[in-house]
Amino acid sequence: MAQILDPLPSKSSNQILCCYVNATSQIKIARISNVPNWYFERVVFPGQRLVFEAVTGASLEIHTGMMASSILSDTVPCDRLQIN
């Protein structure tokens, strides 16, 4: 089931469908922060698959959840996560 809380900016025409899999045993926070006027952040549990829409040029930041904090552990261009 798709969960759309923050739709993509209405002026975006280059939308791509992406998938990120948390293949670790730790909770991850997935965040896109390089798209103006749009906020995207989700918690991804171990083994969970996150399917989302993004715009071309967006980057997914992966933060590892720690006790009362999080650490940026990876940044992946969304076009590398694109699914057909």
At position 35, the amino acid (one-letter code) is: V
Residue 70 has a pLDDT of 81
Tokens of 82: 């694109």
pLDDT tens for 52-82 read 999 999 999 999 977 777 889 999 999 999 9
Question: What single-letter DSSP state applies at residue 29?
Answer: E
Q: Is the pLDDT of residue 21 over 60?
A: yes
Average pLDDT over every residue of 39-48: 94
The Cα–Cα gap between 39 and 66 comes to 22
pTM: 0.82
At position 12, the amino acid (one-letter code) is: S
At position 17, the amino acid (one-letter code) is: L
